[in-house]
A and B are shown apart, each in its own frame.
Chain A
Amino acid sequence: MRGEGAFPVRLRFAERGKVRFISHRDAARAFDRAFRIEALPLALSEGFSPRPKVSFGLALSVGHESIAEYMDVRFSEPVDLEALPARLTAALPEGIEVTGVALLADRAPALQESVTAVEWELEVAKIDESEVSAEEISLRIEALFETKSLPVNRIRKGREDIVDIRPALTRMSVIESGSVGIVLTAEIATQPAARPSEVVTVLGEDLRAVRVLRTAQWIERDGNRQEPLIADAARVSEARAS
C-alpha cells in the first residue's frame, strides 16, 4: 500500500438486518457504487485495465450479521476522515453502516493475513423446536473443551474432507437466554479456522443457529491483541454512535 500521494484507509462496518442476505461479493459491489456516488478519489491500479485498489478482509457468509467487518481502500488524495463514515453510510444499502475509519500506516500488512481470531455471537435453538436450557448448553460447551479432536465434514470445491476444528476453538460461553434460543459467544482462530455452522454442529446435531453475528476480529502483534482499525493505524476516526 505505497505510492505517491496515496491515502490508504481502513474501514470498519456493520452489516445487520435484511441486508445480511447479500453475499460478500454483493457487499463489495455496494461499496464500489458508494465510492462513486460520493465521488471519492479512488486510486486506480496501473496497467491495461485500471481497477480501484480495494481489498476486503474475511468473507461474511450469506445470512450472517456482523458489527466487525473491515476493508482497506486506497484514495489518490487525502479525504476528510471525520466525514467519511456518514458519507459512505448514506450511500450504502440500508443495514450497512460504516462505524470507523483509520488512516493506515505505511507498509500495513494485508487484512486477510493479519486477522488471527474472530468472535461470534450465536443464538442456537433445537431443530425440533423443543426447549433448551442455558445450563444444558453450558454443559455441552464444557464437554467440547474436554475433547481432543472435533472432526466435521467440510465440502470444499466439491470435495468432502474431514477436518478437525478442535484447535480452532479457543473460547466459548453462554451469555443469556435469547428470544428464540440460547445466546452464546465463541472465539475461533483463523489458522486453522472453523465456521460458525460447524461449531453449532459439534455442539449438537439437534441444534441449529437462528442468528449468527460477528462481534469482533483480532490481530495479534507481539503477543498483543488489537482491533484491525487500531492495529495498523496512523490515525483513527470513530463514527458517532447512531
Chain B
Amino acid sequence: MKYWRTPYDLDKIEVPKGKVHIIKDRCKGCGFCVEFCPRDVLEMSEEFNSKGYHPPRVKNPENCVNCGLCEMICPEFAIWSTAKGEKEGKGGQQVPRGNKG
C-alpha cells in the first residue's frame, strides 16, 4: 500500500486482508462491483455464465481489504468478501445474517 505520509502507528495497525467470493451464475453483468471497488480488485471476465452475462473476475486478490462494498452494492446477491484470517472450515463463509434459519 502506498501512503502520502507514513502514519505514526503503521507498525501497530494491521491492514485487513479479504477474499472475494463470487457466485458466477447469479451475476447479470451490471458492472457495479467492478466500477466501484475502492481497491480495484475486480475486472469483467471474458467468459459467459449460464445466463449469458460476463461475471466479474478477481484481478488483484492481494488488494482486497474486506471492506464489503461489493456485497452491499451487488443487486443480485452474487458477490461477497470474507476476512482472510478466518477459519475456512465452513467453506469460507461469513456468519450468516438474520437470526432465523
Q: Are A and B interaction partners?
A: no
